[in-house]
């Protein structure tokens, strides 16, 4: 089961008094329970929000929109009550009377500690479709180069952050990033005997879903090249990625065969060399 992940951008509740709270907390057990109790006692209803509590940080942040319409002490009362808690470091609160408010307390948006920009899939598809419209079949090369560079860049950052050995050992988890970021709902299939080739199933892949709706028989150009760039820089060697089945051909899911870009014989020779070296240890 997968659940949608909403990025907090705005809240719209006509006729309600809204507020947005940003609470800095000690990153300890039980802090959320203490805050929740105070929020409940203030008769405030928590709406969409998020919590950031990195395992290696001593502080956490709890951010949420709230309906304060029925709170007798309102935004100021709840802010004061939260500040009195020993687990709270600071509280920021902004109120809106109109029943609509945009999150203006968080910037930059980031993931993995790096600045990010959130684009809707429709906007991304519009950009790709413009390239196809302007450059015709030449768009394939532009998108391929662009996406491969992006995939390579992502892998480079991961290798810088975690090291190449860790990145290679956590490949299945890292491929899951495509799901976490909304590209597609991905899963991996591989044989028991070897790591590659492997097949990555990309359910609801954003670009093929759009092409299928437009009745375009055009397989993925962006995701395929991004994956190739990502794999190549993670492993420090060239990979080939081919889309072997696709939504735009009437298949239920898009599937990508990911293989090392060199003759099978030389891979087998290297694997056997690696095995014999391991057995000599
Ligand atoms: Zn596809």
Domain count, the chain: 2
Q: Determine the angle formed by the axes of helices 121-135 and 206-213, rounding to 10 degrees.
A: 70
Domain end, chosen from 81, 107, 133, is at 107
Residue 139 falls within a domain, yes or no? yes
Neighbours of ion ligand 1 (CB under 5 A): 208, 220, 246-247, 254
Are 142 and 207 in a shared domain? yes
Residue 200 falls within a domain, yes or no? yes
Residue 2 falls within a domain, yes or no? no
Ligand 1 centre distance from Cα of residue 117 (Å): 24
Are 73 and 193 in a shared domain? no
User: pLDDT value at position 276?
Assistant: 60
pLDDT at residue 279 above 80?
no
Are 76 and 147 in a shared domain? no
Residue 269 falls within a domain, yes or no? yes
User: pLDDT value at position 268?
Assistant: 60
Ligand 1 centre distance from Cα of residue 252 (Å): 10
Ligand 1 centre distance from Cα of residue 2 (Å): 20
Ligand 1 centre distance from Cα of residue 216 (Å): 11
User: pLDDT value at position 1?
Assistant: 85
Domain end, chosen from 107, 141, 168, is at 107
Averaged over 41-46, what is the pLDDT? 97
Residue 175 falls within a domain, yes or no? yes
Provide the domain limits for residue 222: 121-279
Note the pLDDT tens digit of each residue in 104-124.
999 999 998 899 999 999 999
């Amino acid at each position: 089961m997968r659940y949608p992940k909403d990025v907090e951008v705005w809240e719209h509740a006509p006729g309600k008094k809204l507020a947005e709270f940003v609470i800095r907390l000690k990153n300890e057990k039980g802090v959320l329970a203490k805050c929740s109790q105070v929020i409940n006692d203030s008769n405030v209803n928590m709406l969409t929000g998020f919590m950031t509590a990195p395992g290696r940080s001593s502080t956490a942040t709890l951010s949420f929109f709230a309906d304060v319409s029925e709170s007798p002490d309102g935004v100021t009362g709840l802010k004061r009550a939260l500040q009195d808690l020993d687990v709270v470091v600071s509280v920021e609160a902004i109120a809106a009377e109109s029943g609509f408010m945009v999150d203006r307390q968080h910037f930059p948006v980031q993931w993995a500690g790096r600045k990010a920009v959130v684009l809707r899939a429709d906007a991304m598809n519009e950009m790709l479709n413009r390239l196809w419209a302007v450059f015709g079949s030449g768009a394939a090369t532009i998108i391929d180069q662009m996406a491969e560079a992006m995939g390579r860049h992502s892998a480079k950052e991961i290798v810088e952050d975690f090291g190449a050995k860790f990145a290679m050992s956590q490949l299945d988890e890292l491929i899951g990033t495509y799901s976490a970021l909304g590209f597609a709902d991905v899963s991996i299939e591989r044989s028991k005997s070897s790591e590659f080739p492997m097949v990555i199933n990309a359910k609801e892949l954003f670009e093929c879903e759009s092409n299928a709706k437009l009745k375009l028989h055009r397989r993925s150009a962006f995701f395929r090249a991004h994956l190739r760039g990502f794999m190549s820089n993670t492993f420090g060697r060239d990979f080939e990625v081919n889309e072997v089945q696709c939504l735009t051909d009437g298949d239920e899911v898009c599937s990508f065969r990911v293989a090392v870009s060199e003759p099978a014989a030389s891979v087998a020779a290297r694997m056997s060399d690696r095995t014999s070296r391991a057995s000599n240890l």
